[in-house]
Amino acid sequence: MYIVVLVTASNKKEAGKIAAGLIKAKLAACVNISEKVNSLFSWEGKTQKAKESLLIIKSKKEKLAKLIKLVKSLHSYTVPEIIAIPVISGDKPYLRWIDATLR
């Protein structure tokens, strides 16, 4: 099963470090980084605001456990956002490219 994993990072530098680690380890075929995401969330009983970078990671479900472990090892947050979403369909050549890239 193909997945998209969303991870927020504290800044562009941290996001780049995580993305590069995932690509090098063949845990992600592609990582998009969106800068200056405005996040509003509850943390330790208080409403917080932060400017973050969002990683949009294309991978496969069988890679998820190792992907999570690597993200946590490179991340500065105590509890980083790591959310996997199933891909229900996609362009066949693109999905084959993911397969080939993650072998």
| All domains in the chain, ordered by first residue | 2-101 (3.30.70.120)
In whole numbers, what is the pLDDT of the chain averaged over residues? 97
- CA 22 – CA 25 distance, rounded (Å): 5
Q: Averaged over 46-73, what is the pLDDT?
A: 98
* 5 in Cβ contact with 83 (< 8 Å): yes
- CA 52 – CA 37 distance, rounded (Å): 5
In this prediction, residue 67 has a pLDDT band, given cuts at 50, 70 and 90, of: very high
pLDDT at 33: 98
* 101 in Cβ contact with 31 (< 8 Å): no
Q: In the chain, pLDDT over 90 holds for what percent of residues?
A: 100
- CA 3 – CA 63 distance, rounded (Å): 9
Q: Averaged over 42-61, what is the pLDDT?
A: 96
Give the pTM: 0.94
